[in-house]
Amino acid sequence: MDILEKIPSRREVIESFKSTGGKIAAVYPYHYHRALFRAFDILPVEVWGPPGIDTTYGSSYLQPYVCSVVHSGLSFYLSGGLDVVDFIVVPHACDSLQGLGSVYIDFVKPKQPVFTIYIPRGRKDLDVEFLSKEFESIFNRLKELTGKSVTEDKLMEEILKEEEALKKVRELYSKREQISLSDYHFYRVVRSREYLPAEKFMEIADHLLENFSDGTEREGVPVIFSGLLPEPMEILEKLEEIDGRIVADDFACCGRRLYGEGKSNNPFVRMAESILNSPPDSSRGATVDERVEHLSSLVKKYGARGVVFYIVKFCEMELFYIPHMMRGLKERGIPSVYIEVDINDPLPDQTITRLEAFVEVL
Amino acid sequence: MSRVKAIGIDVGSTTAKIVAVDENGEMIWRYIEPTDPRIEDQVDRFLEKLKEELSISDEELKKIPIVATGYGRKLVHQAKKKLTEITCHAKGVYKSLGHGGTLVDIGGQDSKVIVISNDGKVVDFTMNDKCAAGTGRFLENTAMRMKVPLDKMGELALSAPEEVKISSVCTVFAESEIISMIAHGVAVEPILKGLHRGLISRIVAMIRSVGLTPPLMLSGGVVKNPAVRKMLEEATGQKVILPEYPQFMGAYGAALIALESTKSEN
């Protein structure tokens, strides 16, 4: 059976969840804690664009040099794509997303309540404390809005459930080389975590691990991808056609969210500890050295031969890093290539040629 | 028995090229013409021409390995392997000049800078982004707009004692800017010189992004333009070296890779 047949679409999941009385929160990229919403029977469904939509709706609020993820994200709302959701959540991943939060609150004024989350850049105790308070204030506001008296024990129960799902994602990554799935299929599974309830995701992941781990070694030139997301996802099929394969990633939607577990018995602190214990990334203000070290360790661990920076056009937070990171990797003898994409455009031939040339060089 | 041991085909956005090599990898035949939208038919014609001019039979041709490169490589069904221009240009130039360095290839639709090691391997590369600025098409478009023959553009640019600054190197905006300048009575030559400067500044930025490893080498159709070569030398402070057949380096490299594949199979 094709693993994709087991993965319901976002629409199916939303309809099914709502039919049981649950509510939906549309969540923009990319750091937040799913348990915070699940405790209130709210399913977080992430909005990474979506790609390929008419972005002219958003153009009346956003400058042309704002990235296509944010342009699509707002256009999706304005064209009615988020009518079905009950809450909108905008974490502060970058200036454009912070701007989007303000655009929603000050200008668009949607019917749904809008939550913004400020994720601190540091990892110190003070940052944990700040974020835990941020989560607690959202928790209290959700209590008010939903009228549900959710206890901290219930929240902890959801946190533990999400931790189990995260463990499953880690397992998928650690066994990636033994899972006989194309990169396209693998990332469809991993990215289904963007909208599936933890319990459903674990069911699919278990099915995958049981039925697709035949021990056959994957073939192709091993590379690591870094960037926001693998969109258009056709890039993964193209990579396979040109004899390349992803052995690990530093995608904002995937690898950067392999959080460590929190330790505290206080649910808010535990969620904050977990989120702040993520791999170094651009949205968290990691230093160039930390990011180079992280990518180098992935290269070493997974035997990759190079790094592909697959960057969404105008993604300022990524672009500041790129020249320094490429130089840093080069100094360590790791080749890299920079590829720019717009998630709303078809994959240009030049992009494919650049990737193909890189794989040939490796 | 035919001397042709391998064939390389480079289907670029502007011109299509074919090269045949002997067992030592020497270029023994080459041919170029503007790219036809029906690429498969064009390649069939190329192969017919090769057969005719070098007296190769159908049976012999079937045994000769073909590697295709260039923008239209995927449509060359006659090829046993398809590789990018980066790999093929590097291969062709290294064999032609016998050393590594930094290769600038300015093609019709894209430009690339390739750093080649002393043993002929691609160390690093960069390509222009999706826009046409920094490519041959940029010059072609502006030549057309100014009603200047493409092959005279470089000479005219170099003849200008001064140049005007073209503030935009976007092909579309550059055209508007040119129209405005002409309307203000600016002579053609300084405009052309400014346009070339714009193109070179894009290329130099690409060179800087990978780092210049001397010597600086140049290939691609734009090589025929003397202003590009001269201004590139001025901008980088490096003498520019050209292979004997700069437009054929992609096809030549493809042929050499096809030849290597037969040797490794044997």
pLDDT tens digits, residue range A1-10? 577 888 999 9
- Assign residue A32 the CATH number of its domain: 3.40.50.11890
> Of B178, B156, B158, B157, whose CA–CA distance to B168 is shortest?
B178
- A138 assigned to some structural domain: yes
Residue A12 lies in domain: 3-148
What number is the average pLDDT over the span A78-107? 93
CB A23 within 8 A of CB A123: no
State which amino acid sits at residue A323. Answer: P
Report the pLDDT value the prediction gives residue B137, as an integer from 0 to 100: 73
Q: Is A354 within 8 Å of B127 when comparing Cβ atoms?
A: yes
CB A232 within 8 A of CB A347: yes
Gap between the Cα atoms of A239 and B23, Å rounded: 34
Which sequence spans correspond to the domains of chain B?
6-88+248-265
- A207 assigned to some structural domain: no
- A319 assigned to some structural domain: no
B216's enclosing H/E stretch is strand B216-219
> Of A239, A146, A195, A188, whose CA–CA distance to A15 is shortest?
A195
CB B93 within 8 A of CB B249: yes
The size of chain B, in residues, is 266
Pairing verdict, β A87-91 and A114-117: parallel
Q: List the alpha helices (DSSP H) in chain B.
A: 39-53, 58-63, 85-97, 136-146, 153-159, 171-183, 188-210, 226-236, 249-265
Report the pLDDT value the prediction gives residue A41, as an integer from 0 to 100: 96
Report the pLDDT value the prediction gives residue A307, as an integer from 0 to 100: 97
Pairing verdict, β B66-69 and B81-82: parallel
What number is the average pLDDT over the span A281-295? 94
Chain centroid offset of residue A187 CA = 11
Tokens of A131: 């974020």
Q: How far is the CA of A284 from the CAs of A123, B129, B254, in angstroms?
A: 9, 28, 45
Q: Indicate the pLDDT class of residue A50, thresholds 50, 70 and 90.
A: confident
B contacts of A349 (beta carbons < 8 Å): 71
Q: Mapping DSSP to helix (H, G, I), strand (E, B) and coil, where does residue B244 land?
A: coil
Report the pLDDT value the prediction gives residue A83, as an integer from 0 to 100: 94
- A252 assigned to some structural domain: no
Report the pLDDT value the prediction gives residue B169, as an integer from 0 to 100: 60
- A263 assigned to some structural domain: no
Q: Is B130 within 8 Å of A361 when comparing Cβ atoms?
A: no
Gap between the Cα atoms of B186 and B173, Å rounded: 17
Report the pLDDT value the prediction gives residue B172, as an integer from 0 to 100: 64
Report the pLDDT value the prediction gives residue B253, as an integer from 0 to 100: 96
Q: How far is the CA of A169 from the CAs of A286, A291, B23, in angstroms?
A: 23, 21, 53
Q: How many CB pairs under 8 A join A and B?
A: 37
Report the pLDDT value the prediction gives residue A89, as an integer from 0 to 100: 96
Report the pLDDT value the prediction gives residue B224, as an integer from 0 to 100: 83
| Superfamily grouping for domain B6-88+248-265 | ATPase, nucleotide binding domain (3.30.420.40)
Q: Is B84 within 8 Å of A323 when comparing Cβ atoms?
A: no
Lowest mean pLDDT among A56-60, A115-119, A140-144, B168-172: B168-172
Split into its structural domains, chain A has a count of: 1
Gap between the Cα atoms of A90 and A12, Å rounded: 23
Gap between the Cα atoms of B28 and A260, Å rounded: 63
> Of A228, A230, A326, A328, whose CA–CA distance to A282 is shortest?
A228
Per-residue pLDDT of chain B (266 residues; tens, 9 = 90+): 778 999 999 998 888 999 999 999 999 999 999 999 899 999 999 999 999 999 899 899 999 999 999 989 989 998 989 999 999 999 999 999 999 999 999 877 778 999 999 999 999 998 876 565 667 777 777 777 777 777 788 888 888 888 888 765 666 667 777 777 787 888 888 888 888 888 888 889 889 988 899 999 999 888 888 898 999 999 999 999 999 999 999 999 999 999 998 877 76
Chain B contact for A238 (CB, 8 A cutoff): no
Report the pLDDT value the prediction gives residue B266, as an integer from 0 to 100: 63
Q: Is B209 within 8 Å of A323 when comparing Cβ atoms?
A: yes
Report the pLDDT value the prediction gives residue B136, as an integer from 0 to 100: 72
B contacts of A221 (beta carbons < 8 Å): none
Report the pLDDT value the prediction gives residue B188, as an integer from 0 to 100: 82
A contacts of B71 (beta carbons < 8 Å): 349, 353
A contacts of B121 (beta carbons < 8 Å): 361
- A96 assigned to some structural domain: yes
- A99 assigned to some structural domain: yes
Q: Mapping DSSP to helix (H, G, I), strand (E, B) and coil, where does residue B131 land?
A: coil
Gap between the Cα atoms of A213 and B257, Å rounded: 37
Q: For residue range A247-283, what is the model confidence (pLDDT) as tens digits?
A: 999 999 999 999 998 999 999 999 999 999 999 999 9
Report the pLDDT value the prediction gives residue A5, as an integer from 0 to 100: 83
Tokens of A246: 């992803």
Q: Indicate the pLDDT class of residue A221, thresholds 50, 70 and 90.
A: very high
> Of A153, A44, A50, whose CA–CA distance to A91 is shortest?
A44
DSSP code at position A216: P
Report the pLDDT value the prediction gives residue B98, as an integer from 0 to 100: 94
DSSP code at position B10: E
Helices A152-174/A267-276 angle, 10° precision: 30
- A93 assigned to some structural domain: yes
Residue A331 Cα, gap to closest chain B Cα (Å) = 13
What number is the average pLDDT over the span A338-342? 90
Report the pLDDT value the prediction gives residue A105, as an integer from 0 to 100: 94
Burial label, A125 (beta-carbon count in 10 A; 0-12, 13-18, 19+): exposed
A contacts of B206 (beta carbons < 8 Å): none
What number is the average pLDDT over the span A341-354? 86
Gap between the Cα atoms of B217 and B196, Å rounded: 18
Gap between the Cα atoms of A290 and B66, Å rounded: 46
Report the pLDDT value the prediction gives residue B107, as an integer from 0 to 100: 77
Tell me what the pLDDT averaged over chain A comes to. Answer: 93
Report the pLDDT value the prediction gives residue B244, as an integer from 0 to 100: 92
